[in-house]
Structure 1
Amino acid sequence: MKKLDIASWDRRDIYKVFRGMGVPHFSISTELDVTALLAFADRKKLPTYPLALYIMCRAANEVRAFRLRLRGEEVVEHESLHIAPTVPWKNGLFNFVTAPYHEDPERFISAYREAEARSRAMDALNLEDDAAVGDAALYTSCVPWFHLAAASNPVFSAEDSIPRVVWGKYVRRGRRSVMGVSVQCHHALVDGRDVALFLQKAQELADGAAAVFAPLARRRR
């Protein structure tokens, strides 16, 4: 983690404008084409949720603005972000999971599955893992019951600068499959073009699923 020099930051004035707003967060919703991702997962008999988590976390890590965080009057840049999704829990509820990021998809998914199993077995909400990584996280959630057109996420305060990514049910568009995605960020740190870059990288990873997740496919042979 390193401290950003706000005085020499090229978007310093934009930062100051949104830094003073009571509701500085914005949300952009669109669709990702997941045809290649679903075809690969079906062919290799792999669950899609961990694959989607990897895609979102890797794309976020590759966009610098997504790794910036507010710290009082300072801005810091994390070296990497960990994934912090929700998972089904007891009695129809959900629990929180936090797992470390690894660029290697095999290591990433293995770490996620361990963290998921731990959260599912808990009798109380898992808030400890989230506290351990602090704001070096990407919050994600999935609503698989319906196609997602838009979403708004709760935040702790106007200072909360952790990006949120939510996606919904896969639906058909002719011969293609798409997934509604909503991305929510703090406008003092992230602009629309940063979200566009994140979505572009996520789309590229989904399109290249066979190559991206080749280590998983080889292991299952």
Structure 2
Amino acid sequence: MKTLIQQDAWARREHFAFFGRMSSPMHSLTTQVPCEPAYRYCREHGISFFLHYLHQTLIAVNACDNLRYRIEGDQVVQYDRIHANTTIGRPDHSFGFCPVQFDPDFQKFRANAEPAMQAVISASGLCFNEECQRQDVIHFSAIPWVAFEGLTHAHHSGFPDSVPKVSVGKLHQRDGKLVLPVATFAHHGLADAYHIHQFLERLEYGLNHPPCLT
């Protein structure tokens, strides 16, 4: 479900018009998010850390109103629920795109995600299909080999894109804490740095207060 934003009364009307004219309106932030409680919990309970932080990412995105905005033609809509289109790696070091449905309940989320991921691992090529082109998603990628401090994405400057992107890097120690690099990309007409702060604050809370998943 989605709601049409009435732009005449929208507080971001001028922001949207200003940044929407730019050939590259996406802005990015990269930071390190503490995550040791979640990592230890996943190890102790045999839970995929990848699925856990993907789930927490979606919880945080869905909690941020501005990250649920999308541009469709000349209109702005707000989706009720955001899912993920994530990259999944294979043993041959290729990857494919994998749509993953969000559910607030981790067990249901995992039950949906695991077979979808296995299907991509067992296939070849990009697996880029109509489902991957949905707007009610984030584009998500894990880069577990690099503790990056900055990141860019390939993009077509002439193609209107308002889907936020989130990338997570290598788990590593920094200042005595176990942290994950997290890079975010969002359309500046729809979300500002404050809204990325809201997302990161909720993500950090989720990774440091792991729920009972068993």
Residues in 2 aligned to 1:129 and 1:31: alpha-carbon distance in whole angstroms? 33
Write out aligned runs for 1:100-119 (5 A).
100-119=101-120
**Higher helix residue share:** 1
Residue 59 of structure 1 is matched in structure 2 by 60
Residue pair 1:148, 1:179 contacting (<8 A) in 2 also: no
How far apart are 1:82 and its partner, in Å? Answer: 0.9
Residue 122 of structure 2 is matched in structure 1 by 121
How far apart are 1:175 and its partner, in Å? Answer: 3.5
What is the TM-score with the length of structure 1 in the denominator?
0.91
Q: Per the alignment, do residues 90 and 45 of structure 1 end up closer, same or farther by CA in structure 2, a change over 3 Å counting?
A: closer
> Within the alignment, does 1:144 sit opposite 2:173 as a pair?
no
Residues in 2 aligned to 1:70 and 1:179: alpha-carbon distance in whole angstroms? 30
Unaligned stretches of 5+ in structure 2? none
Q: Per the alignment, do residues 17 and 158 of structure 1 end up closer, same or farther by CA in structure 2, a change over 3 Å counting?
A: farther
Write out aligned runs for 1:36-55 (5 A).
36-55=37-56
Write out aligned runs for 1:1-221 (5 A).
1-89=2-90, 91-128=92-129, 130-131=131-132, 134-156=134-156, 157-209=158-210, 211=211, 214=212, 216=213, 218=214
Deviations 1:112-144 (A, max 9, x none): 11110111122332122634x611111110111
How far apart are 1:45 and its partner, in Å? Answer: 2.3
Residues in 2 aligned to 1:68 and 1:23: alpha-carbon distance in whole angstroms? 18
Identity %: 20
Residues in 1 aligned to 2:154 and 2:94: alpha-carbon distance in whole angstroms? 17
SS of the aligned residue for 1:97 comes to: strand
Residues in 1 aligned to 2:185 and 2:124: alpha-carbon distance in whole angstroms? 30
SS of the aligned residue for 1:181 comes to: strand
Query: Structure 1 counterpart of 2:205, which letter?
Result: E
Deviations 1:67-116 (A, max 9, x none): 10001110011111111111112531111110111000111111111110
Unaligned stretches of 5+ in structure 1? none
Query: Structure 1 counterpart of 2:149, which letter?
Result: A
Residue pair 1:147, 1:179 contacting (<8 A) in 2 also: yes
What is the TM-score with the length of structure 2 in the denominator?
0.94
Moved more, 119-128 or 101-110: 119-128
Length, aligned pairs only: 212
Deviations 1:146-201 (A, max 9, x none): 10201111234451000000111111124420111100001111111000000000
Residue pair 1:24, 1:158 contacting (<8 A) in 2 also: no
Residues in 2 aligned to 1:55 and 1:15: alpha-carbon distance in whole angstroms? 28
Residue pair 2:96, 2:124 contacting (<8 A) in 1 also: no
